[in-house]
Amino acid sequence: MIPASVGHQCPDCVREGQRGQRTTVTAFGSDARLGGQGYVTKALIGINILMLLAKVVFGGGAGSFFGGGWGGLLGGSTKVDEWGGMIGSQPGFACVNSSGARVMCQIDVIADGEGYRFVTSMFLHSGLLHLALNMWALWVVGRVIEQAIGPARFLSLYMVAGLGGSLSVYLFNGPGYTVGASGAIFGLFAALFILLRRVGRDSSGLLSLIVINIVFTFAVPGISIAGHLGGLFTGALAALGIAYAPQKNRTAIQYGSLGLLLVIIAGIALFRSASITPTA
C-alpha cells in the first residue's frame, strides 16, 4: 500500500489515477516531468570528467591535472589535447610551392579530415580548475534550462552552442589548439537569459554575470575569446528559435531552427575548408 493524503492506496489505484492526470507542459512545449531530474546535465558532466581521466591514462599522468598556468592549477598540455583540441587556421603563412615561388597559404588540419575536433574539443579541459569551473556552471545553469525545455531540446541546444564556439575558433584563431566546454556554457548563459525574458522573469542578475564573464574573457590571457563569443552568439540564436516558436507546430519549428543552425555551421566550416590554399 502507498501512503496518501488520507489513508493508503493500492499501487494499481495510484497508477490508474496517474494515467488520468494531465501532463504539465512548460512555456516552451516540454513535459515538465522529463527534465526535472537533470539527466542530460549529469551525463554531460560525466563525459567531461571521463575525458579528463582519459588525459591522465593516455596523455601524461599527473601533468594532466597540474603544471600549467595560474600556479599550476590549469593543467598541462598532453597528447590527448593535441589529438582532440580545436585548431584555428588563419591565412598569411608564407610557403614555397613546387616551382620555387613564394605563395600565401595556411596549414589546416580540419580541411585534412580532422573535423572530429569540432566535437572532441568541447569535452576536453586543460586541468582540474578548468574542468571544475565549467562543470559548476553547467550544473547550475544546465539543470534550469533542461527542466524548462526538456532533455532533447537541451542536449541539442548545448551541442549547437558548442559547435558554434568551435566554428568561431576555426574561423578566427591561429594554429594553436583550444579545449573546453566554455563555448557551450556561454551559449547556455545566453539561452537562459532569452528564456527568462520570454516568460517575463527578472534576468538582470544573469545579464550582469554574462557581462562579467565577457570582461573576464578579454582580461585574462590564454582564454579563447573566439570560442566564448561564438558559443554565446550561437546559443542565443538557438534559444530564440526555441523560446519564440509559435504554439502551432511548435516542436517542429523548434527542432527545425536547431537543425538549420547545425546546417549553417557545417556549411560555413565546409566553405572555409574548401577555400584553404594548401601548403606546397
- The per-residue pLDDT for 22 is 58
- The per-residue pLDDT for 12 is 67
Of 3.30.1300.10, 1.20.1540.10, 3.30.56.10, 3.20.19.10, which CATH number belongs to 35-274?
Answer: 1.20.1540.10
- List phi, psi (to 5°) of 243: -75, -35
- The per-residue pLDDT for 71 is 40
Q: What angle do CA 152, 115, 279 make, to 5 degrees?
A: 160
- The per-residue pLDDT for 23 is 62
Domain boundaries, the chain: 35-274
Task: State CA 157 to chain mean position distance.
Answer: 8
- The per-residue pLDDT for 57 is 80
- The per-residue pLDDT for 92 is 53
Task: Output the tens digit of pLDDT for each of the chain's 280 residues.
Answer: 445 555 556 666 656 655 555 567 788 877 777 778 899 999 999 999 999 888 878 766 555 555 454 444 455 677 888 889 998 876 555 555 566 666 655 667 787 788 999 999 999 998 888 899 999 999 999 999 999 999 999 999 999 999 999 999 999 887 778 899 999 999 999 999 999 999 898 888 899 999 999 998 898 887 889 999 999 999 999 999 999 999 899 999 999 999 999 999 999 999 988 876 554 4
Q: Which residues are catalytic?
A: 182, 228
pTM: 0.84
